Structure 1
Amino acid sequence: MPADLNTYGFPPGYFVIKNIASSRMLDIDSDMVEDGTRVILWPETEYSIVEDMRRPEANNQVFYIDTSGALCSRSSGHAIDIEDDGLVLRHRRPVSHPFPNKYSHPLPRFAYDPATGRITVVFACDPTYPASGDLDAAMSAWKDKTYILTEIPMRKPRTIIDNASEILTSAITMPLALFGGNKQSNATPEAVWTAGDIDLKEDEILETERSEEGEVDDSPEKIRQVRVVGLTREEEKALGERAKSRWRWEVTPLRSTKRQTGPM
């Protein structure tokens, strides 16, 4: 009896994955093979989707789904795991107790929906791997979330002119604030980060707290980060369209030969 193979929405064989919002490809950082190597977004390095016409050194942007639903890198053959919400290369590891734990656990399963362009991640256990003895309610909360692969926007570095303008604005508004009494601040995490009070990185801002300004992606850097965000149904509905556009991916299968385009 033939095996019942499931590619979880991905095409069979090898494929490349492009983020629609940034037009960058999922990529193994520096084509490394070490355990824990980051998976990032990088500009496309090979435009042909025909196997015989592709350069082997571009295989760090090629992936496949194995029979368990694990997303794997073609260049190394290793699977992709989730570590601190980021994607990393993961070698298979032996079971260690108490199982599961951060070191040893079932690999997550990736699924692709061609209709929506979303890539979701399914975990067999709580991806935070809480210590034993935690409250049952806290340990089961992860089951109520949908885990979605998303790109993280990156702002261009602030210039001296930007900082001088901000200081001038603060100097003008500060005396006025003295007459306003104690008012509750509505500053967003991005506003606090921009003001320099807290050094928050873009990938440290929660999706549910990212303002419209935080959606700006104007950095000249080639690299972009990716992460998996866990959202309840209510949190997902509350997010704007720009945030959801970063969840869209285009998966393109590689072909073994050129297609026949004319009569023989």
Structure 2
Amino acid sequence: MSDADLRTYGFPPGYFIIKNVATGRLLDVESDLIEDGTPLILWPETETSLVEDMRKPESNNQVFFIDTSGALCSRSSGHAIDVESDRPVLRHRRPVSHPFPNAYSHPPPRFSYDPATQLITVAFVFDPSYPSSGDREAALSIWRDKTYLLTSIPLRKPRTLIDDASELLTSALSVPFSLFGHTAPTSPRPDQVFDSGDIDLREDEILEQERSEEGEVDDSPEKWRQVRVIGIAKEDGQIAGEEAKKRRQWIVVPLRAHKTRTAASVEIAR
């Protein structure tokens, strides 16, 4: 039987872990919960062994597989992965409800992995925003023309009083230069841009194409990072910076059923 017949959509058969290139963290079901709608996050690796019978069962929330229907699933709960408001979440199977499809009842999206590009794409059968029937035709071309990618979101460390004082001192020192027409150019921080008026966006809500070099800084001491499914046009994907590209790249590592004995280990055993 060929790989195409297995319908694993680029993922290896059996169980595997999914590591983000930019952060080095693994895709993880938050707190190993099993409730419907539990979000997926990034978390440091909790088990280093790749041999199934040597791994701690409590690390199964960092293990995934493709089931017989082609859905990406969590090993710890067995539930499929869905996308809810651009967030990957656990999803129980649900009965059909009308009008179908809707945000409650719909086919799960298909996650596919390309080892060459290291991208995980998400294909939806229907518009993931699930517009009303009157708006579906108008929105049809918009969502179909996008490529949906799984990506990590950078997280900044909280600003301190020292940071604010240092910035105030820098601004004060630049005032004399402005008297002679030599004002030093400054670049606003993301929190200045989005908190200066009525706009109040969190770091994870900044559009990918609007994220500045400053916005790519990922220096928070927190262990977790958020993941999102973003819809991008072809031109947006081509102009993405290096950091953005790394955040969209993943390394999928299969687990082994048994510990592999090498020729060297056999010779030592003799």
TM-score (norm: length of structure 1): 0.89
Relative distance call for 1:104 and 1:151 in structure 2 (3 A) is same
Question: In structure 2, what residue type is equivalent to 1:70?
Answer: A
Q: Deviations over 1:127-155 (max 9, x none)?
A: 11111212623233100011000000101
Distance 1:140 1:197 in 2: 31
Q: Does 1:242 align with 2:240?
A: no
Distance 2:136 2:231 in 1: 19
Distance 2:173 2:196 in 1: 15
Q: Does 1:134 align with 2:135?
A: yes
Q: CA deviation at 1:216?
A: 0.6
- Partner in structure 2 of residue 183 of structure 1: none
Relative distance call for 1:147 and 1:188 in structure 2 (3 A) is farther
- State how many pairs are aligned: 259
Distance 1:90 1:170 in 2: 50
Q: CA deviation at 1:249?
A: 0.6
Q: CA deviation at 1:5?
A: 2.1
8 A Cα contact 1:126 1:140, kept in partner? no
Relative distance call for 1:47 and 1:134 in structure 2 (3 A) is same
Question: In structure 2, what residue type is equivalent to 1:76?
Answer: S
SS at match of 2:128: coil
Question: In structure 2, what residue type is equivalent to 1:27?
Answer: D
Q: How does 1:86-125 map to 2 (within 5 A)?
A: 86-125=87-126
Q: Which moved more, 1:61-70 or 1:195-204?
A: 195-204
8 A Cα contact 2:156 2:217, kept in partner? yes
Relative distance call for 1:132 and 1:175 in structure 2 (3 A) is farther
Distance 2:191 2:15 in 1: 39
- Partner in structure 2 of residue 214 of structure 1: 215
Q: CA deviation at 1:170?
A: 5.7
Percent identity of paired positions between Structure 1 and Structure 2:
68
Q: How does 1:162-201 map to 2 (within 5 A)?
A: 162-168=163-169, 189=190, 191-193=192-194, 198-201=199-202
Relative distance call for 1:70 and 1:9 in structure 2 (3 A) is same
Q: Does 1:230 align with 2:231?
A: yes
Distance 1:197 1:174 in 2: 28
Distance 1:133 1:77 in 2: 36
Question: In structure 2, what residue type is equivalent to 1:150?
Answer: T
Q: CA deviation at 1:243?
A: 0.4
Distance 2:83 2:192 in 1: 29
Question: In structure 1, what residue type is equivalent to 2:67?
Answer: D
8 A Cα contact 1:26 1:39, kept in partner? yes
Q: How does 1:14-93 map to 2 (within 5 A)?
A: 14-93=15-94
Superposed CA RMSD: 2.8
Relative distance call for 1:198 and 1:51 in structure 2 (3 A) is same
- Partner in structure 2 of residue 160 of structure 1: 161
Distance 1:26 1:240 in 2: 23
Distance 1:118 1:139 in 2: 24
8 A Cα contact 2:189 2:214, kept in partner? no
Relative distance call for 1:197 and 1:159 in structure 2 (3 A) is farther
Q: Which moved more, 1:156-165 or 1:56-65?
A: 156-165
Question: In structure 2, what residue type is equivalent to 1:249?
Answer: W
Relative distance call for 1:136 and 1:50 in structure 2 (3 A) is same
8 A Cα contact 2:190 2:214, kept in partner? no
8 A Cα contact 1:85 1:227, kept in partner? yes
Question: In structure 1, what residue type is equivalent to 2:160?
Answer: T
Q: How does 1:243-262 map to 2 (within 5 A)?
A: 243-262=244-263
Distance 2:243 2:83 in 1: 24
Question: In structure 2, what residue type is equivalent to 1:121?
Answer: V
TM-score (norm: length of structure 2): 0.87
Q: CA deviation at 1:196?
A: 8.4
Relative distance call for 1:85 and 1:148 in structure 2 (3 A) is same
Q: Deviations over 1:175-207 (max 9, x none)?
A: 999xx9xxxxx9685541476874421111111
Q: CA deviation at 1:236?
A: 1.0
Q: CA deviation at 1:124?
A: 0.3
Relative distance call for 1:195 and 1:8 in structure 2 (3 A) is same
Q: Deviations over 1:42-62 (max 9, x none)?
A: 000000000111011110000
8 A Cα contact 1:28 1:39, kept in partner? yes
